[in-house]
Amino acid sequence: MPGIVVRERLHSPGRERIPEPMVMDDAESVAYFHTGGGANPGMRAVYDLCARSIDALLPPGGRILDLGIGSGRALSAVLRRRPDVHAVGVDLAPNMLATAQELFTAEGLDGRAELVQADITALPESLAAGSWDAVSCMWTLHQLPDVEVLGAALRQIAAVQRDSGAGLWISDFARLKDPSACPAMLQCVDPDSPMGLRQDAIASEAAAFTREELSAELAAAGLGGLRCGHCTPLPYLQAYWMFGARGKHAPIGQQDSALNGQTRREAALLRWGFTAKPF
Ligand SMILES: C[S@@+](CC[C@H](N)C(=O)[O-])C[C@H]1O[C@@H](n2cnc3c(N)ncnc32)[C@H](O)[C@@H]1O
């Protein structure tokens, strides 16, 4: 790892972004992503960080709007941590939504989560004008085709936040300067992960907005005051948040009892290495 980190620090900027298809719906990609999210220690560590963070944003009995819910793993971590919380999850991909529905049914969460097929850049009025305590967008922005669509998504998020007074949690990959850094890191820390899952992560990092790009677009959308953090020593994940109108909450969630062994260690390392976080 030290060599990968040093090469990244010394690498010149200017790496081109390689966009992915916006809607992630082909059966094989959905299955890889969903299976990986349930088993892969690195992915589960990220879900744990997101759930702990959102726990600090949500008042008791709160309502969360999750944008780009995918197969439901990230939101499931929030709902399992906080049995008092209700959610609406939005995605454009029918296969993702069907997989999320199966997950929530299997985990006994479906009474607390509603799924809606919609575009996060132009939400239906019923969601845009809803009463939310938190809005989350996790591992989704890198799928947007360009900065114009990114800007539309962030303006929509800013409008919902402004109207509802919700807390906000936005997290995603951050594109690194060195194109070989992410593949080398995954080979180093996760040599046994399935090739399809690893290729998906590598493509997502290449499609991600850099920290500078995302910060600039957040500011342009009226979200320049968000707090932010990133993982270290290799800054391939970035997060932005604000507390809602009801302020900061002492996290009340239960620790994920299924986090054990390598996953527990990776979650702790990610948490400790993150430069700032809301909890
Ligand atoms: C990589 S998945 C992440 C899912 C989930 N948040 C997680 O962390 O596991 C990103 C999801 O965003 C969805 N997505 C991308 N652009 C979207 C848009 N404009 N409107 C709604 N969903 C979108 C994709 O279909 C995909 O399911």
Q: How far is the CA of 91 from the centre of ligand 1 (A)?
A: 6
Q: How far is the CA of 206 from the centre of ligand 1 (A)?
A: 16
Per-residue pLDDT tens over the stretch 200-215: 999 999 999 999 999 9
How far is it, in rounded angstroms, from Cα 150 to Cα 143?
9
3-state secondary structure 146-198: CHHHHHHHHHHHHHHHHHHCCEEEEEEECCCCCCCHHHHHHHHHCCCCCHHHH
pLDDT (0 to 100) of residue 169: 98
User: Is any ligand 1 atom within 6 A of the Cβ of residue 140?
Assistant: yes
Lowest model confidence (mean pLDDT) among 88-92, 132-136, 189-193, 207-211: 189-193
Pick the CATH number of 2-273 from 3.40.50.150, 3.40.50.2300, 3.40.50.800, 3.30.70.1230: 3.40.50.150
How big is the chain, counted in residues?
A: 279
pLDDT (0 to 100) of residue 259: 84
Between 99 and 191, the more confident residue is 99
Between 271 and 189, the more confident residue is 271
Alpha-carbon dihedral sign for residues 44, 110, 241, 96: positive
Q: What average pLDDT does the chain have?
A: 95
Indicate which atom in ligand 1 lies nearest the CA of residue 23: 25
Per-residue pLDDT tens over the stretch 132-183: 999 999 999 999 999 999 999 999 999 999 999 999 999 999 999 999 999 9
User: Is any ligand 1 atom within 6 A of the Cβ of residue 37?
Assistant: yes
> Would you list the domain boundaries of the chain?
2-273
Of 43, 50, 64, 92, the residue with max ligand 1 atoms within 8 A of its CB, to mutate for a pocket test, comes to: 92
248 band by pLDDT with thresholds 50, 70 and 90 = confident
Please tell me the residue having the least CA distance from ligand 1 atom 20.
Answer: 119
The first and second tokens of residue 58, run together, are: 């949500």
* pLDDT score of 249 more than 80: no
Per-residue pLDDT tens over the stretch 99-120: 999 999 999 999 999 999 999 9
pLDDT (0 to 100) of residue 255: 78
Going from the C-alpha of 80 to that of each of 51, 52, 218, 235, the distances in angstroms are 9, 11, 30, 28
User: Is any ligand 1 atom within 6 A of the Cβ of residue 34?
Assistant: no
pLDDT (0 to 100) of residue 190: 86
24 band by pLDDT with thresholds 50, 70 and 90 = confident
* pLDDT score of 29 more than 90: no
Q: How far is the CA of 202 from the centre of ligand 1 (A)?
A: 16
Q: What are the residues facing 64 on neighbouring strands?
A: 87, 134
Indicate which atom in ligand 1 lies nearest the CA of residue 153: 19
pLDDT (0 to 100) of residue 144: 97
How far is it, in rounded angstroms, from Cα 17 to Cα 142?
10
Going from the C-alpha of 121 to that of each of 60, 155, 260, 279, the distances in angstroms are 29, 8, 37, 29
How far is it, in rounded angstroms, from Cα 130 to Cα 71?
23
* pLDDT score of 247 more than 80: no
Indicate which atom in ligand 1 lies nearest the CA of residue 46: 8
Phi and psi at residue 238, in whole multiples of 5°? -130, 150
pLDDT (0 to 100) of residue 22: 85
User: Is any ligand 1 atom within 6 A of the Cβ of residue 38?
Assistant: no
Please tell me the residue having the least CA distance from ligand 1 atom 7.
Answer: 74
Per-residue pLDDT tens over the stretch 40-63: 999 999 999 999 999 999 999 999
